[in-house]
Amino acid sequence: MTATAEHAVGAKVTRLEGSDKVTGKARYASDYPSENPAFAWIVQSPVPRGQIVGIDVDGALSSDGVVAVLWHGNTPTLATDDPELAVLQSDRVSYRGQVVALVVAESIEAARQGSQMVRLRLRVEDHDVTLAEDSPLLYSPEKVNPNYPADTEAGDPDTALANADIVVDARYQTPSYHNNPMEPHATMAVWRDDSLTVYDSNQGASPVQAALAKAFSIDKEQVRVVSTHVGGGFGSKGTPRPIVVLAALAARTVARPVKLAATRQQMFAFVGYRTPTIQRVRLGATSDGTLTAIVHDVVEQTSQLSEFAEQTAVITRSMYRSANRRTTHRLARLDVPTPSWMRAPGEAPGSFALESAIDELAFALGIDPVELRARNEPESDPETGLRFSSRNLLGCLSEGARRFGWGGRDPRPCMRRDGRWLVGSGVASSTYPARVQPSKAAATALEGGTFNFQLAAADIGTGARTALTQIAADALGVPLERVSVALGDSRLPEAPLAGGSMGTGSWGWAICKAAEALTERLRSTGGQVPQGGIRVEVDTSSDVADQTDLARYAYGAQFVEARVDVDTGEVRIPRMVGVFAAGRIVNPLTARSQLIGGMTMGLSMALLEESIVDPLVGGWVNTDLADYHIASYADVGDIDVSWLDEDDPDLNPVGTKGIGEIGIVGTAAAVANAVHHAVGIRVRDLPIRLDKLVTHSLSSVGEDAQSV
């Protein structure tokens, strides 16, 4: 679609790079050509804890096509202080699947064959990979991701719980989840003298550039990171991973370009995952549903290598009003890979516990779940006391209830039946912070009336390239066709990563500022553009720092219909409704896709996804998409997505809030609440497998239910 200057933002614009992607012209990390490249294959530890006492690489080196084998005994020292990137630097094994060697060969087949001939001698030590609420290893971290206090308390929650008319006290569990983007982690590394170029799949070229420069003790200007197209990340590519460092090490060792791509199985080991959680939520309330106490305690895991503390209980700090609140996080250092970001870190698992507990309270009180949430709506942020820049949760709940047909719902479980299927409905709230980070951008006016913007942003399949072009066109007041945006290259002005739902807000701010500066320059030249063009570069650091202290969040409401087969316990979700308040929507077409994708991922989280740990071998056993189940087309019913028009001038010049993550928040709870409404069984440990339902003899449940 062509958008005019008056309405580029808000128009349904198809992806500008769409044709390149469907015709194969778009180059991903492994697609870049190079002269005489070598190929690498990773050797992983078969044990979760121990010491490498010897590595025999002779067999690998004598294998056809193998040109080098890297291991801790012959790998140059890296200057990184990030334990995740200090690959092949130590004889210690800290988790099953850790990289212990790298085979480089003339072909990928030869590299793989050579990797099977590397012989490890290991001193195996006792390991612990099981998260437990009573683990003696538990400790309180100083902070949780990204920089929140681990614990908070206000009022006297213990006394308030003791005096409450009614108390909900329940434990909820979520398993480990693994990011599975369509494109695996992959890099091609090329050294020219002391300068390094990597073609890498990541969520931010600038952070990868900085990490590589530090690791190899060279200037940032000597490192170029190219990531023009990225096939998804979900957080796993938000920080540099071992792949990019290994490729660079190998390329320097063999003095030629090296390509390295992780297999799907390998990606379950060293590119991050969502920590499992054990959560206890206690809610105290009066008989009319007013919350008098909210307590949310979380137990989760981290690794022996480095600490990552997911902010699971942070969502509870600002969601509902109560004078007495406490949230805590406790970690256990286990012999596992380090957890990391996965779509809506913290909010996704935390909302399952909080929004399930709210539903349990509504059921116990006999109050409609939507009404209960409305009764506990805060006027300001309960945690900070700050004014909300905008908070339209009640509008989302109201519109969602209307679109779903919530009115007249019988609150009693097991009251609707359609043949073999018991039918129920559930609701949950969604929220996610509306963050921005400083960004740079450049804008150039060219002869002929066209304009080019440059910044090292990342389009990880979200449509960022298209949205930023729309923002630039509006900022200049010109048709979309006269604007182009270059991104995905660290040589462009530095930009923050695509993560935390802050990309469009951060990058869009820089583009608006660049457009303003360019417009001013053009005024000074009377609109005349010299042959070389007019270029400006801006930095929003001071603008972002000057933001007024406000509580900035996006909100949403999720409504779900669940059907449960009384004979098999099979759960089907024929329809979901999501209504969101996320500031100004730049591109309704791609925004809708993002929200549907998030809700689909939440459905997958609720019913299917689970990384299963074998405590004997010390690692996950379902490390491929045959055994790690995710929602497929047949699992997803009708998803109705909409949003409220929201004008929030206290966000950024475009008025956007992030939409990449809020879609997953609350979905799992809405599904669990709908299943409870259908069959009267409360599943508090995800996923909701049929074996957790069939043990309750569903065939006799709902005999008095109304047919639908």
Question: CA nearest 574: which of 687, 425, 706, 697?
Answer: 425
Question: CA nearest 326: which of 154, 80, 161?
Answer: 154
Residues 6+ apart with CB under 8 A from 162: none
Q: What is the 3-state secondary structure (H, E, C) of 636-695?
A: CCEEEEEECCCCCCCCCCCCECCCCCCCCCCHHHHHHHHHHHHHCCCCCECCCCCHHHHC
Tokens encoding 518: 């360019």
Residues 6+ apart with CB under 8 A from 542: none
Tokens encoding 393: 């949760």
Kindly provide the b/e burial profile for residues 516-534, where b requires at least 16 CB atoms within 10 angstroms of the residue's own CB.
bbbbeebeeeeeebeeeeb
Which H or E run contains 260? strand 258-261
Beta-strand pair 38-44/258-261: parallel
If DSSP codes are grouped into helix, strand and coil, which group holds residue 524?
helix
CB atoms within 10 A of CB 194: 11
Sign of CA dihedral 242, 248, 253, 259: positive
Q: 565 has which bridge partners? A: 421
If DSSP codes are grouped into helix, strand and coil, which group holds residue 126?
coil
Long-range contacts for 625-632 (Cβ within 8 Å, ≥24 apart)? 625/180, 625/264, 628/178, 628/180, 628/268, 629/604, 630/180, 630/604, 631/600, 631/601, 631/603, 631/604, 631/607
Query: Are 470 and 9 spatial neighbours (Cβ–Cβ below 8 Å)?
Result: yes
Q: Which of 383, 609, 610, 661 is catalytic?
A: 661
Q: 620 has which bridge partners? A: 613
Residue 542 to residue 536: CA distance in whole angstroms: 17
Angle between helices 667-679 and 588-607 (to 10 degrees): 50
| Planar angle of CA 119, 120, 122, nearest 5 degrees | 155
Active site residue 561: no
Catalytic site residues?
661
